[in-house]
Amino acid sequence: MQQPRAPLVLVIDDDEDVLLTISKLVRALGFDAVTASSGEQGVELFRGRAPDVVLLDFNMPKQDGNRTLTLLRRENSAAKVILMSGALVGTRGALDAMRKQGADAVLAKPFDSDELQQVLRSVLPPGAGSD
C-alpha cells in the first residue's frame, strides 16, 4: 500500500538564513518543503507545485507579502496562506489586519517549532502530515 505523501509547504522569504531555517523546521515536523526567495518566484512555484500551504513573509522588497497574497488568491482562492512577519511582534492590531487581508493564519517571527506545527495543523485538513 502506498504511503500518503506529506503535505507540501511553500516557504517564501527574502532572507536566505530565515528561508533555510524555516524550511529545515518544516521538514523536521514531517512536511515537505520548497522555497522561494521572492514573491515573484513564490507565485511561479505556487503555479507549478500546487503546495498544500504557503508560509509567506509579509515584508519583502519589490513584491511584498500583501501583493503576493493577492496573486496567490487569484491563482487559487482556496489556497492556505500563513503570513509571517518579524516587524509585527507584539502588535495585535497589525496581525489582525493581516488576517483581514486574506491570510488563513499569521505567525509573528521569531516562532518556535511548536508554534509552527500548531499553525500548520490549524490550516490543514485533519490527519494531514500526521506521523
pLDDT tens, residue by residue, 17-63: 999 999 999 999 999 999 999 999 999 999 999 999 999 998 888 88
Least confident of 2-6, 40-44, 91-95, 113-117: 91-95
With 0.75 as the threshold, say if the pTM is over it: yes
Residue 109 DSSP code: S
Task: Return the C-alpha cell found at 126.
Answer: 485533519
Set out the domains of the chain in order of their start, with CATH numbers: 8-121 (3.40.50.2300)
> pLDDT tens-digit profile of 58-106?
888 888 888 899 999 899 988 899 998 876 555 556 566 666 677 898 8
- State whether the Cα torsion 108-112-115-119 is positive or negative: positive
The yes-or-no verdict on residue 15 having pLDDT over 80 is yes
Cβ atoms of residues 83 and 107 within 8 Å: yes
> How many C-beta neighbours within 10 Å does residue 3 have?
5
